[in-house]
Amino acid sequence: MSSFISQFLRLVLKLVLAAFGIVFALSLLAATLIFLVWRQLVGLFTGKKPPPLMAFGKFQRFSPQDIWAAGAGGSQAGKQGEVVDVEVREVRDDQRLR
């Protein structure tokens, strides 16, 4: 009889702990969804992209396909096929030397 009661209490304890675990997991999921919806609404009303989306945009800008397409320097001029040639000259501040 004692064995039956201990097995029953063990089963009840497992069920209660499983229920608490499920409630905890669902509450974390709900909190995450509420936060994501809130950030989307704030971004919609302010006109700014949410920070995670901006971070992914930065990663895409430096993707390997972009770097190879831009040329060795990875500059915007390389992407457009424009070459900028500049003449080197020394810039002196004569007033500072006096």
Domain boundaries, the chain: 1-48, 51-80
Q: Give the DSSP letter of residue 22.
A: H
Contact 50, 43 (CB under 8 A): yes
In this structure, what token pair is assigned to residue 81?
């096929």
Over its length of 98 residues, how does the chain's per-residue pLDDT go in tens digits?
689 999 999 999 999 999 999 999 999 999 999 998 998 888 888 887 766 666 666 666 666 665 555 554 545 544 566 777 888 888 777 766 55
Contacts of 43-50 with CB under 8 Å at 24 or more apart are none
Q: Give the DSSP letter of residue 91.
A: -
